Chains A and B, each alone.
Chain A
Amino acid sequence: MPTTPGNNNNNNKPSVVCPAERDNFYWGQFSENVIKNVTQSQSTEISQVQAAQAAQAQKLRCKVSRHPLGTIYATSGLRASEDHWILDWALIKLNPNRFSFEQLRNVGFT
């Protein structure tokens, strides 16, 4: 649904999380499976133990990276304009703790 402009500090404004909750869920689930497989097989092979350690580290990254990217200032919602063009844009106030201008300029256009 369209969100009209408003104060970004308003707690009622929806926030944007990055990575997406769904991505985080699958990454976490993948890590969980790797750890489970190695634990169940009680393997002592170095490669498998390393895989389990890497998965554990990834799981931790998934956990700590779950925080807001910013808050939505205004959006079109997914809809068609009066002249029938499909619109799906949002203006987002980025969380300064997640970004610096230096980082953004190195990312490029996305």
Chain B
Amino acid sequence: MQIPLPSSRAIFETNLNPEAWNETDWTPRAEHIAAPTKGSYLFKIGRTTGHTVGQFHHVDASVTINYILDGPDGKRNILVKGKALVVRPGEDSAFARRGDSGALVLNGNAEAVGMVTAVAKGSVAFGVVYVSPFPPIVDNIKEILQRGPSDGKVEVELL
């Protein structure tokens, strides 16, 4: 897989508006979130693998994550089934590995596409990466924040 052309990276840099760092209003805006298109390049910066690029492939409607929770009461399995975006890695490097979970996934226009959730090994070299898209995450944040008492210190305007 070829790394995206410098022209697309220029767009990426342009959208990382330096002035934004001086803003105090961190309200998420609709134009900062995007749905990926098939074959589009996606970028992430993660704790384990750092800067990587991958390609959006499809939406997998039958993802199963078997998470082993190692707690004080022993090991416990958490089995979750659902949908996720599938991102394929490059030919010579992984898109994400263990420890990259939670990394923000952006498209070439620096729009937030989703968040790294899990890696499936075996299907392709380096494994495909499951990404949770942003709109359901934002909807769920709204739902959870409305459910409990707020201490008034966090202000989030949701889409």
| B106 and chain A: residue at smallest CB distance | A109
CB–CB B136/A83 < 8 A? yes
Q: Which residues of B contact A20 (CB under 8 A)?
A: 99
How distant is the Cα of A107 from the Cα of B21 in the complex, in angstroms? 13
Tell me whether A47 is interfacial, beta carbon within 8 Å.
no
- Which one of B99, B132, B149 lies within 8 Å of A86 (CB-CB)? B132
Chain B nearest CB from A13 CB (Å) reads 11
Q: In which size bucket is the chain A interface?
A: 20 to 34
| Count, chain B residues at interface, CB 8 A | 42
CB–CB B151/A8 < 8 A? yes
Question: What are 14 A-B pairs with beta-carbon distances under 8 A?
Answer: A6-B148, A7-B151, A74-B148, A76-B141, A79-B82, A83-B83, A85-B132, A86-B84, A87-B137, A87-B140, A88-B117, A107-B45, A110-B45, A110-B47
Q: Interface of B with A (CB < 8 Å)? A: 21, 44-47, 61, 63, 65, 67, 70, 78, 80-84, 99, 101-104, 106, 115, 117-118, 130, 132-133, 136-137, 139-141, 144-145, 147-151, 153-154
Q: Interface of A with B (CB < 8 Å)? A: 2, 4-8, 20, 22-23, 73-76, 78-81, 83-89, 91, 105, 107-110
